[in-house]
Structure 1
Amino acid sequence: MWPSIRTDAPVRSSTGTRATALAAALLLAGCIEVPAGLLHSDRFAPSAGECLYPGLNDFRALPARFSLLSWNIYKQQGDWQAELARWAEETELLLLQEASGEPALYQWLSERDLHWFQVAAFSWRERPNGVLTAAPGDVTQVCAQRVAEPATRVPKSLLFSRYPLEGAAEQLLVVNLHAVNFSLRGRTYQAQLDRIGKEVAEHGGPVIVAGDFNRWNARRNRMLNDWARAQGLTEAVPEPDVRTRFLGYALDGIFYRGLELEWVDSARSEASDHGPLRAGFRMPGH
């Protein structure tokens, strides 16, 4: 059996070199495949295109007051169902990173009447892996992107989703991010943020950018803060703040614009090496 690989967990010197070499070797051996299709969903067959426009006749808008859960689920290698059921209760937006396309996860989403889209960043054991966004409401547009890790060439993924929102003149843009990890001097990390920044700058409505930002050193933390400031985004800092950290820097985050933050918290997980982040938002005036 192949060992489970971790392309997102920051590790030190020699260990990091071994992890990078292992991921690269598995990719070269064909154990990790980068599929032609980017998007998978509960409503559409896998598509090679970057964007889908569902074109539904009746869009169900998200409520003016809603909650969000963002969690790196670690490819469902732990006992994830009990934790996810507890944390996702009464949650309108679910953002998962490192989601593995196994039937149990898709069934869990279906039982809760959640419509989901997933970026097939890469395939591992014939299952798509990447970020996944789910909601009971209907998405009007969903776009997927991949960014290859400079060292391993194993992609990380981005998912842009637009939802009608009650009381909002413009739709809500939700960005689900799994940031690159091994990036010399942070150039690819900055390029990934710039991709998001372009979409955020062109969107006039409310925005949420959440996920695993892999900010594990001072340079990345500074890049992220400068980028958020330039985009007019505010970070929702949880209370209590028990987010997974490396060298003191929180790996996961939620940034927002054009919304009022009502609450935000974090929790520890036994099923994953990342704990979840949860936040409640509302449209101004509601």
Structure 2
Amino acid sequence: MRKPTYAMRYVAGQPAERILPPGVFSSIGQALPSGVPLTSEERIRILVWNIFKQQRNEWLSVLKNFGKDAHLVLLQEAQTTPELVDFATSNYLAADQVPALILPQHPSGVMTLSSAHPIYCCPLREREPILRLAKSALVTVYPLPDTRMLMVVNIHAINFTLGVDVYSKQLAPIREQMAHHSGPVIMAGDFNAWSRPRISALYGFAREMSLREVRFKDDQRRRAFGRPLDFVFYRGLNVANASVLVTQASDHNPLLVEFNPCKTK
């Protein structure tokens, strides 16, 4: 029997809340509630990082030094340990996690930390056909000061497959959601794009959704078979700065990106 898909929301001073997927994707942008903007600043700062289930030392130090000033932190393989939940709820208004692996103590999956409460939240899961392990993704939406709505997709892509059918299947519900969203988009995470067919499927999806790829001048992203695994895609925004932080605190290096929320020409 397929396990239910849901997100767990962590907010300081409140019990954890289970959030189920919305029933109709087409409602995006039509009946979203109002909310406080993600930021009042001129830039949107994000950190994207596969945190390797917090198995290495210094992961918390990296988050404290580089994550606390970000408006969005998109983590993959995030375990809801007391230390991570405390950091998230102490520095952010909301932290939403989609459990993918139910480990003995704490579930692991994508987690999005945000400086404002999302006005839309859709958790997604897909099971790897070989190892039967699940990977998760999370779609959230936040108001911007200019009244537009920013869609944020945090994804940990399927890894072990024969061919790209299941890999592409994981992107299908994200495509459906983006197709009903007219505002700016950030899609980022660990895409496990380690083969030519996978990178072709990913770039084809990006073209179809009018997404641009963030380029890193000193590209120190984690690679497999010579190809980077972590990406940041966007539309309706301008990139102000982009860098890769080299660290031993995980088997992936964090990506730091600043976007200008003003409308592109």
Give TM-score, length-normalised by structure 1. Answer: 0.82
1:106 is displaced (CA, Å) by 0.5
Aligned with 1:62 (options 39, 53, 60): 39
Distance 1:108 1:185, change over 3 A: same
Aligned with 1:86 (options 60, 65, 70): 65
What do you get for the CA RMSD once the two structures are aligned? 2.2
Distance 1:129 1:206, change over 3 A: same
The structure that is helix-richer by fraction is 1
Aligned with 2:189 (options 211, 221, 225): 211
Task: Give the Cα separation in 2 of the matches to 1:285 and 1:85.
Answer: 31
Q: Which residue of 1 aligns with 2:140?
A: 161
Distance 1:179 1:57, change over 3 A: closer
- For residue 164 of structure 2, give the secondary structure of its aligned residue in structure 1: helix
Task: Give the Cα separation in 1 of the matches to 2:116 and 2:18.
Answer: 21
Q: How do residues 38-57 of structure 1 correspond to structure 2 at under 5 angstroms?
A: 38-43=6-11, 45-47=16-18, 49-51=20-22
1:89 is displaced (CA, Å) by 3.8
1:74 is displaced (CA, Å) by 0.3
Aligned with 1:223 (options 189, 194, 201): 201
Aligned with 2:111 (options 132, 135, 160): 132
Q: Which residue of 1 aligns with 2:94?
A: 115
Q: Which residue of 1 aligns with 2:154?
A: 176
Task: Give the Cα separation in 2 of the matches to 1:152 and 1:38.
Answer: 21
Instruction: Give the conservation status (yes or no) of the 8 Å contact 2:43–2:258.
Output: yes
Give TM-score, length-normalised by structure 2. Answer: 0.88
Instruction: Select between 107-116 and 142-151 the one with higher mean Cα deviation.
Output: 107-116
1:269 is displaced (CA, Å) by 2.0
Instruction: Give the conservation status (yes or no) of the 8 Å contact 2:35–2:119.
Output: no
Distance 1:113 1:226, change over 3 A: closer
Letter in 2 for 1:177: I
Question: Structure 2: 5+ residue runs without aligned partners?
Answer: none
Aligned length, in residue pairs: 251
**1:246 and 2:217 are equivalent in the alignment:** no
- For residue 67 of structure 1, give the secondary structure of its aligned residue in structure 2: strand
- For residue 205 of structure 1, give the secondary structure of its aligned residue in structure 2: coil
1:72 is displaced (CA, Å) by 0.1
**1:146 and 2:106 are equivalent in the alignment:** no
Instruction: Give the conservation status (yes or no) of the 8 Å contact 1:62–1:163.
Output: no
Distance 1:257 1:285, change over 3 A: closer
Instruction: Give the conservation status (yes or no) of the 8 Å contact 2:237–2:263.
Output: no
CA deviation digits over 1:218-245, x for unaligned, max 9? 1111111111111100000112110000
Instruction: Give the conservation status (yes or no) of the 8 Å contact 1:37–1:46.
Output: no
1:57 is displaced (CA, Å) by 7.5
Aligned with 2:180 (options 181, 197, 202): 202
1:285 is displaced (CA, Å) by 5.3
Aligned with 2:55 (options 77, 80, 85): 77
For the pair shown, the structure with the greater C-alpha radius of gyration is: 1
CA deviation digits over 1:182-213, x for unaligned, max 9? 12111100111222111111110000000000
Task: Give the Cα separation in 2 of the matches to 1:234 and 1:243.
Answer: 18
Task: Give the Cα separation in 1 of the matches to 2:174 and 2:17.
Answer: 23
Distance 1:235 1:37, change over 3 A: closer
Instruction: Give the conservation status (yes or no) of the 8 Å contact 2:92–2:113.
Output: no
Aligned-pair identity (%)? 35
